[in-house]
Chains A and B, each alone.
Chain A
Amino acid sequence: ELKVEQNPLFLSMQEGKNYTIYCNYSTTSDRLYWYRQDPGKSLESLFVLLSNGAVKQEGRLMASLDTKARLSTLHITAAVHDLSATYFCARGQGAQKLVFGQGTRLTINP
C-alpha cells in the first residue's frame, strides 16, 4: 500500500528560526508536490519536484527531493508569521493521481 508520511504533524516555532518538514513515501516516484493550506481555505501549489536531486526555492521556503531515499524536505528559513499554515506533500501515483500526506500544521509565533 502506498503511504506518504509527514513529520512532524505539528510544529510551533518562533519567528526568525529555521526548521525542516520531512516527507517520506513508501514506493519510488519521480514526482513530489508541496501544497499550502490556510485555515478554512483551499490548497495552494508551492512546488513541483520532478526528478532526483531537484531543489526549488521561493522566498523563505526551499523544497528538495531525494528519490533514492524516498524523501522530500521543505525547509523554512528565518520564519515569519505569514508562513503559519498547514503544509502537505503529495506523491504522484500512476498517470494523474496524487496521494497526500497527513499534513504538517505550522504555527509561527512572534
Chain B
Amino acid sequence: GAGVSQSPRYKVTKRGQDVALRCDPISGHVSLYWYRQALGQGPEFLTYFNYEAQQDKSGLPNDRFSAERPEGSISTLTIQRTEQRDSAMYRCASSSGTVSNSPLHFGNGTRLTVT
C-alpha cells in the first residue's frame, strides 16, 4: 500500500480483556516500530523489529505487552488483561533502513479505550 496501515482505527474494550492491534508496514520496509502516544504528548517508544527479529523491546511497559512480526511484514501488538491505564493511541511506523538513514513513516494509529 501507499502508507503504513493500522487496524482497527478504534478499539473499545473492557478491563481484563485481551486486544490485538495490527500493523501493515510500507511494502519493502525492513524496520517496523511500535510507539504509544498519550493525548498531548509525544510518541513513546515501545519496541522495534528488523525483518522478523525483535531487536529492542525495552519500551514495553510490562509483560502484558508483547509484539510479533513472524514473516517480517505484518506485525501484531498484543495487550493481555487490559487496564484503564493502557488507554492511548498506539502508532506503528516503518522505515526502509536504519533510523539514521531514513525517517520513520507513521500510520494513523489505533485509538484504544479501556473501560
Contacts and interface: CB of A to CB of B under 8 A. Distances in A.
Interface stretch (B13-21, B63-71, B73-81, B95-103): B95-103
Interface of B: 31, 33, 40-45, 48, 50, 55-56, 59, 91, 95, 98-100, 102-109
B42 A96 contact: no
Contact of A42 (B50, B55, B98, B107): B107
Contacts of B109: 42
A74 interface: no
Interface of A: 4, 31, 33, 41-45, 48, 50, 88, 90, 92, 94-103
A95 B42 CA distance: 20
Contacts of A33: 103-104
A88 B45 CA distance: 14
A interface SS class: strand
B30 to A, nearest CB: 10
A96 B31 contact: yes
A70 to B, nearest CB: 17
